[in-house]
Chain A
Amino acid sequence: MRVPGQCGGTMEDPSSQNHNGQLGPSSGGFCAENKQSDEGNQRIQYSIPGILHFIQHEWARFEMERSQWEVDRAELQARIAFLQGERKGQENLKNDLVRRIKMLEYVLKQERAKFHKLKYGTELQQGDMKPPVFDEPGVAEMPVDGESPYTSVSNISWRQGRQLLRQYLQEIGYTDTIIDVRSNRVRSLLGLNNNAEAEENLNNAQPVPTALNGNEPVKTARKSQQPTSLTEAMMLDTEAAVLANFEFLAQADVDLEDDDDISEDLDDQGDDDQDDVKTARRKGKGNDGLSDDVDAEAQVVLNELILLTETEDNTDGRHQTDGTEWGSGMGFQSGAGPRRQMGFINDEEAPDSTLGLGELAQLTVSNEAEAFGPLASTKEFRKTWNAKYTLRSHFDSVRALAFHPVEPVLITASEDNTLKLWNLQKTVPAKKSASLDVEPLYTFRCHTGPVLCLAMSSSGDQCYSGGLDGNIFCWNLPNPNIDPYDSFDPSVLACNLEDHTDAVWGLSIHKQRPQLLSCSADGTVKLWSPQSKIPLLSTYSSEQDGIPTSVDFVRDEPNRMVAAFASSHCVIYDLETAKPVVRLESSQEVLNNVVGRQINRVVAHPTLPLTITAHDDRHIRFYDNTSGKLVHSMVAHLDSVTSLAVDPNGLYLLSGSHDCSIRLWNVDNKTCVQEITAHRKKFDESILDVAFHPSRPYIASAGSDALAKVFV
């Protein structure tokens, strides 16, 4: 647990310094340490920045604790995998030993027979004289006095196990943990090493040549077996088997046939490792260019390893290789990555080993990703979203959906003129499928045409729906535990905002104020205060830009909105003056050929001055709100992009398209994190809306196949 501890320490330090620096003694009441130092002298003064800071501090602490738990969990999981591997190794070892005993028995019988024949000139009758037969393939063919006395397990199963463990390591991608476990292993190996040394002394009775290959020492053992007593030979055999087992644990597949490619590769790798260790030793503690914690930690482990190799140096050259191989193969995968690179400079075997490095490099990358912070790391862990709930009850295309801000509740709006309320906690178990069916709790009927858009108030008490009939209805949300077949309550419909004269295509609700934006095919964008007596606050229209298709409030400038138009223009307006403030400039190519570049959806980033637009020409474009310049443009889908949603933290972007897929994007580096094929086509339409739950890990998609799906 050393690494996480260190990490925690380094991360906590600046924050607590910050805390002290910003708050000073005046708000010491918030912090236990401060409280102790300033007790009695200071009155507790609460200030808004102080409180905010305290909340942020607490939040950071919780996040950190959570990531700590994640670390612990990953660690335990790694440990389980490790122990499982070890158990397998032990089993192999056992089988190996049993076989060896049988072999020795056989040899002994043969010797006796020979002796008897020489002495008495007759055959000795001593029962079963058949060579032992083994079930395992690849062992049965083993020659009794051959070159390869201890291939205990077939290559395949070793490689499978090795592959499995590697996969696992990549999956958890948590190098800190690995190093930790690894260092434990190294230490326990050192413990084991004492035993090995004891055995080594036995071995030293024989002249042991410095070997290059794994089978060499065994060969010597074999050779030495003939003149010496059987017991000693058995000891040597056992030791060889133990070593073989080490190698298994090290995931280093040692094959005894010299011409086998794999074994060569691995042996090379082993040699490389040895070289690398030496290089590292030579380059010493400086370790330039590798300054992060992980490497520092790896350095410690490395020192242990050096210690190990040094001990072994005294006994047997070959065993040194074994040890190193063990260490690097087992745990070093990622940690040793950069170090190996160092070693490659003067290494002949580089090409072979770079193959291995490919995987290692990946591991290092995932390690970097972890460094983004506690939040990023938790996200990193839950990389894949899977369909969990299928919401089936609409008769026609689902046009829009919106989540409740807190509860696992959502509303869908459909072309069948209705909206439906769903509670994800009230599921109907569906047979034969992993996904759960949910039945709607309430059906909102009032629109006389398809319902096209939806917005949920930030309190979750009300929602607004805009339809093809030009109406915007304001609904009071029924209790999410309502009986689906309760009697009709007309008060669910709170009000009707009916100033639009054509289809209402977009709604957006202000996060703090009770204000609503709507855009309509009648060419206007309207600002509403739905609770007031005269709900319509103002109307915006632009001859130049044409029909608005989507609107959103700009989050960092509460008095601004961004409107997107079918003409592919995108403009930020000041709500007070009703004047355009910034025109988000279309790139040159767009200006040249405006046809087919319609913006289908515009969303404002929750924290950054960034506007994201979804276009008919398969692009998603990012604009800077202050300069109005295009920041990034990417072909995001195979067909028109219809919908966008940004997660509440602003880290991920979700997009839906008529190509039937939804895609999750990392806002930071604009890479696609996941793609899910979610809905079927009706005519040429497929996915019409996507959404993030504001506070829970749910995402949802709405499709023209009359279904909505929720992913977890």
Chain B
Amino acid sequence: MKMADGIAILRRNKPGTKAKDFSRWPDEPFEEMDSTLAVQQYIQQQIRREPSNIAQILTPPEGQDEGVWKYEHLRQFCMELNGLAVRLQADCHPETCTQMTATEQWIFLCAAHKTPKECAAIDYTRHTLDGAACLLNSNKYFPSRVSIKDSSVAKLGSVCRRVYRIFSHAYFHHRTIFDEFENETFLCRRFTLFVTKYNLMSKDNLIVPILEEEAGTGESEA
């Protein structure tokens, strides 16, 4: 990233940019972001700076509307979950994981269909992510990314519950994949803290013991 004095920094990924330089530009203060996508920009900027600093990532800028903040974070989670889905595609076969399960307690039914269906785990994963993408981009519920109706914010909870099952399935059935992914992205940890902070899921449903593990290894999270 070349930076000449007096020349405004252009935060662009021009064709030919090397992978290591992709989106590597100096941080832009939130106050200076005048785009309608400022919250997304800010969240991504914080994640890029240090993906493990979850407390920082989950701290909204001052005066930020909470509905939009939660919405943009959930978008980011669903987007990053694509990475986990890609890894699962290689390992989670419909023959071996015929049902979406985590612990033996529940079989999750796929809500993407007219009548909830007992999809194979990989299908459940894909359908849930596709369905979340449709809902979160729906012109009906989320026509704006600057202000969001309360009735639409209420929908975020159910999306959280469904996508969390992808974490739990990976954790209980594809542990190596889960660990690899988690070490790179800290996504499950971030997600757990996110839903706890904003009360989007009940504690009983958070079955991946990710925070406890950390407490065990001595790292403390906010």
Question: Which residues of B in the span 1-29 have a Cβ within 8 Å of any Cβ on A?
Answer: 10-19, 22, 25, 28
Asked if A470 is an interface residue, CB under 8 A from chain B, the answer is yes
Judge whether B16 and A521 touch: CB under 8 Å.
yes
Q: Does B174 contact A (CB under 8 A)?
A: no
Q: How many residues of B contact A (CB 8 A)?
A: 47
- Residue in B closest to A392 when the chains form the complex, CB atoms: B137
Give the complex CA separation of A99 and B12 in angstroms: 72
In the docked arrangement, what's the CA distance between A640 and B13, Å?
12
> What's the Cα separation between A310 and B11 when bound, in Å?
75
Does A393 make an interface contact (CB < 8 A)?
yes
Which residues from chain B contact A448 at a C-beta distance below 8 Å?
Answer: 83, 86
Q: Are B12 and A601 in contact (CB under 8 A)?
A: no
Q: How far is the CA of A549 from the CA of B138 in the complex (A)?
A: 34
CB distance from A277 to the nearest CB of B (A): 60
Q: Is A685 an interface residue, CB under 8 A from the partner? A: yes
- Type the 1/0 row for A285-320, where 1 means its CB is closer than 8 Å to any CB of B: 000000000000000000000000000000000000
Q: Which of B16, B37, B133 contacts A566 (CB 8 A)?
A: B16
- B133–A395 contact, CB under 8 A? yes
What separation, in Å, do the CA atoms of A521 and B21 have in the docked complex? 10
Decide if B85 is an interface residue (CB 8 Å cutoff): yes
Residues of B within 8 A of A324 (CB): none
| A467 nearest CB neighbor, chain B only | B19
Contacts of B36 in A (CB 8 A): 680, 705
Contact A503 B137 (CB under 8 A): no
Using Cβ atoms and an 8 Å threshold, which residues of chain A touch B75? 395
Q: Which residue of A lies closest to B15 (CB)?
A: A549
Is the CB–CB distance between A416 and B19 below 8 Å? no
* A468 part of interface (Cβ distance < 8 Å): yes
Give the shortest distance, in Å, between A239 (CB) and chain B (any CB): 63
Question: Are the CB atoms of B83 and A681 closer together than 8 Å?
Answer: no
Q: Which residues in B have their C-beta under 8 angstroms from that of A390?
A: 139
Provide the B75-91 mask, 1 if CB < 8 A to any CB of A, else 0: 11011001101100100
Number of A-B residue pairs, CB cutoff 8 Å, is: 135
Asked if residues A505 and B79 are in contact (CB atoms below 8 Å), the reply is no
Partner of A684, one of B11, B86, B133: B11
B82, A521: Cβ atoms closer than 8 Å: no
Give the CA-CA distance A503 to B19 in the complex, in Å.
5
Indicate which residue in B22, B40, B112 contacts A468 across the interface (CB closer than 8 Å): B22
CB within 8 Å of A: which B160-180 residues: none
A487 touching B123 by the CB < 8 A rule?
A: yes
Q: Across the interface, do B37 and A393 meet the contact criterion of CB distance under 8 Å?
A: no
Contact A443/B130 with A417-B83, A680-B36, A682-B40 known, Cβ cut-off 8 Å = yes
CB-based nearest A residue for B135 = A393
A502, B78: Cα distance in complex, Å:
26
Indicate whether A446 reaches chain B with its CB closer than 8 angstroms: yes
Chain A: which residue is nearest B89 at the CB level?
Answer: A445
Residues of A contacting B123 in the complex (Cβ-Cβ under 8 angstroms): 485, 487-488
- Tell whether A548 is near chain B: CB-to-CB under 8 Å: yes
A680–B35 Cα distance when bound, in Å, is: 8
Q: In the complex, which residues 126-161 of chain B have their Cβ closer than 8 Å to any Cβ of chain A?
A: 126-127, 129-131, 133-134, 136-140
Given A417-B82, A470-B19, A431–B140 Cβ distance below 8 Å? Answer: yes
With an 8 Å Cβ cutoff, the count of chain A residues facing the other chain is: 57
A558 is an interface residue with CB less than 8 A from chain B: no
Counting CB contacts under 8 A, is A449 at the interface? yes
A418 within 8 A of B: yes
Nearest-Cβ distance from residue B170 to partner chain A, whole angstroms: 15
Q: Which B residue's beta carbon lies closest to that of A435?
A: B139
A487-B119, A549-B14 are known contacts. Are A468 and B19 too (CB-CB below 8 A)?
yes
Q: Which residues of A contact B134 (CB under 8 A)?
A: 393, 439-440
B94 at the interface (CB under 8 A from A): yes
B188, CB-defined interface residue at 8 Å: no
Q: Is A616 an interface residue (CB 8 A)?
A: yes
**B122 close to chain A: CB less than 8 A:** yes
Choose among A439, A506, A521 the residue that contacts B18 (Cβ–Cβ < 8 A).
Answer: A521
Instruction: Name B70-113 residues within 8 Å CB distance of A.
Output: 75-76, 78-79, 82-83, 85-86, 89, 94, 110, 112-113
Q: Which residues of B contact A162 (CB under 8 A)?
A: none
Whether, in the assembled complex, A457 has its beta carbon less than 8 Å from a beta carbon of chain B, the answer is no
**Interchain CA distance A474-B74 in the complex, whole Å:** 30
A547 to B18, CA, bound (A): 9
In Å, the complex CA distance between A433 and B16 comes to 38
Question: Is B120 located at the chain interface by the 8 A CB criterion?
Answer: yes
Among A390, A680, A683, find the residue whose CB has the most chain B CB atoms closer than 10 A: A683
Instruction: Tell me the nearest residue of chain A to B92, going by C-beta.
Output: A488
- State the Cβ distance, A316 to closest chain B Cβ, in Å: 67
Q: What residues of chain B lie closer than 8 Å to A680, measured between beta carbons?
A: 35-37
Q: Which residues of B contact A506 (CB under 8 A)?
A: 15
Beyond A392-B139, A417-B79, A417-B82, whether A683 also contacts B94 by CB under 8 A is: no
B52 interface residue, CB < 8 Å from A?
A: no
Contacts of B46 in A (CB 8 A): none
Please state if A566 and B19 are interface contacts (CB–CB under 8 Å): no
- The residue from A450, A490, A684, A685 contacting B89, defined by CB atoms under 8 A apart: A490
Complex: chain B residue closest to A567, CB-CB: B16
Q: Could you tell me the distance between the alpha carbons of A390 and B131 in the complex, rounded to whole angstroms?
A: 17
Interface positions, chain A 593-616, Cβ under 8 Å from B, are 598, 600-601, 616
* A437 part of interface (Cβ distance < 8 Å): yes
Assembly CA distance A550 to B36 (angstroms): 30
B82 contacts A503, C-beta separation under 8 Å: no
Query: A549 and B16 in contact (CB under 8 A), knowing A417-B79, A682-B41?
Result: yes
Q: Is the CB of A658 within 8 A of B18?
A: no
Verify A437–B86 contact, CB threshold 8 A: no
Q: Kindly state the separation between the CA atoms of A683 and B76 in the bound complex, as whole angstroms.
A: 16
* A197 vs B131: C-alpha distance when bound (angstroms): 78
Within A474-531, the residues touching B (CB, 8 Å) are 484-485, 487-488, 490, 502-503, 505-506, 521
Name the distance in Å between A671's Cβ and chain B's nearest Cβ. 27
- Looking at the complex, which one of B35, B78, B112, B140 makes contact with A682 (CB distance below 8 Å)? B35
12 pairs of residues in contact across A and B, judged by CB atoms under 8 Å: A395-B79, A439-B134, A443-B129, A446-B86, A446-B89, A488-B122, A503-B19, A505-B15, A566-B16, A600-B14, A683-B11, A684-B11
Binding site for A on B (CB under 8 A): 10-19, 22, 25, 28, 35-37, 40-41, 75-76, 78-79, 82-83, 85-86, 89, 94, 110, 112-113, 119-120, 122-123, 126-127, 129-131, 133-134, 136-140
- Give 9 new A-B contacts, CB below 8 A, not counting A395-B76, A450-B22, A488-B94: A390-B139, A394-B133, A395-B133, A430-B140, A439-B134, A485-B130, A600-B14, A640-B14, A683-B28
